[in-house]
């Protein structure tokens, strides 16, 4: 009798509330979701509250299931766990997105910095090129100036004078014995310099003019002046100067530079003049 009452009461107790859930789809889903979010490396950092709540809810749901609580309660708790887990996932996704934004901003800074560096580099290399060009131009200018100075010095060494006919160098008669057209050894130095000059400035041509004083016949003087000019030309070709660059003129006594009345004047008139062209072979004005 007593046993029957107790059994009946127990049956009533159990059956009175709800059917006993042995399984809940909602709980399965919640378990999977909670497990998934817990496994995410960012879970602790980005969604610790959500994950903790989800686990609590899940634990309560499991307990409810074990204690045969009504299906409705188990499902409700499982739903809370599921939604907390999903919120956790959303917050993890948000954290990922924020990381991306931060990285992208770093990347943007890096790209902009690179662009600026390239600009600077480009400006620098332009500047360097300009500087090199300027330096080269300066070197050229310096070289040209050196060349000019050297030419001037050489002209000075040749004791050439600027005249309206251009640069003119005079070899006076002490280089020849009287009445002779043979150059004396004393002429060597002047001829060496002249030959060297002509070799250095390859565009320059010369006119070699023989002159005499007024003593003697015109024919004699013309022939003598011609021979003296030829002697100088031969001396130059002997020193390696091309004959193409040399013109020879015997001008006799027609172009004195001093009076023929005095000994000194006549001596000045007995001479060979070398007239220089410019470096492209042009003469300042045609010689007589």
For 42, 136, 194, 264, the CA distances from 277, given in Å and listed in that order, are 93, 30, 14, 30
Q: Interface residues for another protein in 66-125 (CB under 8 A)?
A: 72, 76, 79-80, 83-84, 86-88, 90-91, 93-94, 97-98, 100-101, 104-105, 107-108, 111-112, 114-115, 118, 122
- Binding characters for another protein, 14-33, by CB under 8 A (x = yes): --xx----------------
The token duo for 29 is 């889903």
Q: Sheet harboring 271-276: ordered strands across?
A: 160-163, 166-172, 271-276, 206-211, 246-250
> How many of the other CB atoms lie within 10 Å of CB of 199?
14
Q: Decide: is 36 part of the binding site for another protein (CB under 8 A).
A: no
Report the C-alpha gap between 271 and 72 in whole angstroms: 139
Check if the beta carbon of residue 35 is closer than 8 Å to that of residue 82. Answer: no
Element (H, E) at 65: helix 48-66
Give the position of tokens 């004396």: 184
Q: Interface residues for another protein in 169-208 (CB under 8 A)?
A: none
Q: Decide: is 12 part of the binding site for another protein (CB under 8 A).
A: yes
- Output the smallest distance, CB 47 to another protein, in A: 9
Report the C-alpha gap between 35 and 189 in whole angstroms: 110
- Output the smallest distance, CB 70 to another protein, in A: 9
Q: Decide: is 38 part of the binding site for another protein (CB under 8 A).
A: no
Check if the beta carbon of residue 197 is closer than 8 Å to that of residue 277. Answer: no
Nearer to another protein by Cβ, of 114 and 140: the residue is: 114
Name the one range near another protein by CB under 8 A: 3-11, 178-186, 229-237, 261-269: 3-11
Residue 85: strand, helix, or coil: helix
Report the C-alpha gap between 9 and 183 in whole angstroms: 160
Name the one range near another protein by CB under 8 A: 8-16, 152-160, 180-188, 192-200: 8-16
**Angle between the 218-238 and 188-200 helix axes, to the nearest 10 degrees?**
60
Nearer to another protein by Cβ, of 32 and 141: the residue is: 32
Name the one range near another protein by CB under 8 A: 1-9, 175-183, 241-249, 268-276: 1-9
Q: Decide: is 2 part of the binding site for another protein (CB under 8 A).
A: yes
- Output the smallest distance, CB 28 to another protein, in A: 18
Which residues sit at the interface with another protein, rule CB under 8 A?
2, 5-6, 9-10, 12-13, 16-17, 50, 72, 76, 79-80, 83-84, 86-88, 90-91, 93-94, 97-98, 100-101, 104-105, 107-108, 111-112, 114-115, 118, 122
């Amino acid at each position: 009798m007593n046993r029957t009452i107790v059994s009946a009461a127990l049956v009533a107790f159990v059956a009175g509330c709800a059917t006993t859930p042995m399984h809940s789809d909602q709980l399965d889903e919640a378990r999977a979701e909670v497990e998934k979010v817990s496994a995410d490396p960012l879970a602790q950092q980005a969604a610790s509250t959500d994950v903790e709540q989800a686990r609590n809810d899940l634990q309560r749901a499991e307990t409810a299931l074990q204690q045969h609580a009504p299906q409705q309660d188990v499902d409700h708790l499982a739903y809370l766990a599921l939604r907390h887990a999903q919120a956790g996932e959303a917050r993890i996704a948000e954290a990922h997105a924020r990381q991306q934004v931060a990285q992208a901003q770093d990347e943007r800074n890096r790209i902009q910095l690179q662009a600026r560096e390239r600009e600077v580099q480009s400006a620098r290399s332009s500047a360097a090129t300009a500087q090199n060009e300027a330096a080269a131009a300066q070197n050229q200018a310096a070289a040209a100036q050196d060349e000019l100075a050297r030419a001037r010095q050489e002209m000075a060494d040749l004791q050439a004078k600027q005249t309206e006919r251009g640069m003119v160098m005079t070899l006076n008669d002490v280089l020849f014995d009287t009445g002779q057209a043979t150059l004396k050894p004393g002429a060597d130095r002047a001829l060496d310099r002249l030959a060297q000059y002509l070799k250095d400035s390859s565009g320059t041509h010369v006119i070699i003019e023989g002159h005499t004083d007024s003593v003697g016949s015109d024919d004699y003087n013309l022939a003598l002046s011609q021979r003296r000019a030829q002697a100088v030309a031969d001396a130059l070709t002997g020193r390696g100067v091309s004959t193409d660059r040399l013109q020879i003129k015997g001008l006799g006594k027609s172009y004195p530079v001093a009076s023929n009345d005095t000994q000194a004047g006549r001596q000045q008139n007995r001479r060979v003049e070398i007239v220089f062209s410019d470096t492209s072979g042009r003469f300042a004005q045609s010689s007589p």
